[in-house]
Amino acid sequence: MAKILIVDDEEAIRRTLRDILEFEKYNVEEARDGMECLVKLKKTKYDVVIMDIKMPRLDGMDALERVQVLSPDTPVIMISGHANIDTAVEAVKKGAFDFISKPPDLNRMLITIRNAMDKSTLITETQVLKRKVAQYKTQAIIGETEAIEHIKTTIDRVAPTEARVLVTGSNGTGKELVARWIHEKSNRNKASIVEVNCAAIPAELIESELFGHEKGSFTSAHKQRIGKFEQANGGTLFLDEIGDMSLSAQAKVLRALQENKITRVGGDKEIKVDVRVVAATNKDLRKEIDEGRFREDLYHRLAVIIIHVPPLNERREDIPLLVEHFISVVCEDYGIPPKKISDKALVALKNVNWTGNIRELRNVVERLIILSDKEITDKDVLSYVLPNAVQSSKFKEIFDRFDNVSELQDFMEKEFINYKENA
């Protein structure tokens, strides 16, 4: 139910507008002047504000300017019984959605409210879309450990070339981010990077996904389909989890890399493609080759440059930087001020066994932001991150023993091996 705030020093006006708007199923609140309006706006989000101009303490015009600062997306409809056209123009210039003279025409008032709410909805939808677009922008690689600096240096050297790259590492370590930065820093960054998750596509459909198909080439091929190789023409093709690709598809990918040509499923026409391939896997491809599940010749085609992304447990020094980054990102997504995190909480997070790597850390930070109060503390980490009461109590005993954070950190670094199994 939409929420409307009526701001007017005349009780009769407020009561009349309330009765009409409540009859129209709006949730209505009142304020007697501009000061009370600002107090309410600090505590509550309103869909529309209806505000008189002539009021004691703080009149409508001055209150309007402050509303624009306090809640710039809230539409304000100004009303007055003593105003002229100049006042109306001034109100609109200062940010009012519309101006209505007293006594208000009720039909016009209701139409104006609906229009104001439509504007408010559009603003909200635009903000959501902007956040979604921002998520697709290439994020920075966060970290200062030697391994991460080596990855950044390698990307800088390799990206401007046409060399194929194989990115290895466990699930959740950030292999896709490395691939995106290779594309972003390459000479192909004006074109697209097209992603294919080889593990998510059934074996019988992977060839159609990669190379496309002609109409009628199989039962459900009702129209021609352009494959990922053609979509990525002039850009980068990112083959994620390539270790899960079928052997028949591997043979066709190898041919495409050798000849820079593809043939759609069910077609006989060769199509030239100009694609740089970056592949990623969480598997040991050497072992997969030995066991006959991956082609050695394709491996040598893909692994011109190998970039290994280490698991989070091998770069614990980066956890504070990652946590601060995720706090900023998650709080921005939720539209709330960034929460603080205590030093002890960071020590606790550094000593968790991160089997899910950075993806797990991001989820944990989001959980802590939702469940904690103004500051994320070590007690929050012990309560919401460690999986059971025994482990929480063991860590609580350690954390309560030290008041000095640096001493706690030193102890955990020396003794962590003893607690790793339980973290």
CATH number, domain with residue 220 = 3.40.50.300
pLDDT of the residue at 423: 44
pTM: 0.66
Burial (0-12, 13-18, 19+ Cβ within 10 Å), 204: exposed
- 117 and 168 together in one domain: no
Is 359 within the bounds of a domain?
yes
- 166 and 270 together in one domain: yes
As a whole number of Å, the CA-based R_g of the chain is 30
Is 141 within the bounds of a domain?
no
- 402 and 282 together in one domain: no
The pair phi, psi for residue 280, each rounded to 5°, is -145, 150
- 100 and 189 together in one domain: no
- 250 and 367 together in one domain: no
CA 84 – CA 96 distance, rounded (Å): 15
- 294 and 155 together in one domain: yes
Tokens representing 178? 């490395």
Is 150 within the bounds of a domain?
yes
Supply the DSSP symbol for 265.
B
Q: Decide which of 310, 336, 357 is a domain's last residue.
A: 310
Is 294 within the bounds of a domain?
yes
Is 140 within the bounds of a domain?
no
pLDDT of the residue at 128: 66
pLDDT of the residue at 267: 87
- 217 and 295 together in one domain: yes
Q: Which residues of the chain have pLDDT under 50?
A: 417, 421-423
Q: Which helix (H) or strand (E) holds 156?
A: helix 146-158
Domain containing residue 372? 313-422
CA 385 – CA 369 distance, rounded (Å): 12
pLDDT of the residue at 387: 67
- 273 and 323 together in one domain: no
Q: Decide which of 310, 329, 344 is a domain's last residue.
A: 310
Q: What is the largest CA-CA distance in the chain?
A: 88
**Cα dihedral: 237, 241, 246, 252 (round 10):** 20
pLDDT per residue over 181-195, tens digit each? 999 999 999 998 999
Give the total number of structural domains in the chain. Answer: 3
pLDDT of the residue at 416: 57
- 301 and 176 together in one domain: yes
- 75 and 54 together in one domain: yes
pLDDT per residue over 59-110, tens digit each? 888 889 888 888 888 899 998 877 677 777 888 888 889 888 888 788 888 9
- 153 and 259 together in one domain: yes
pLDDT of the residue at 68: 85
- 121 and 172 together in one domain: no
CA 200 – CA 198 distance, rounded (Å): 6
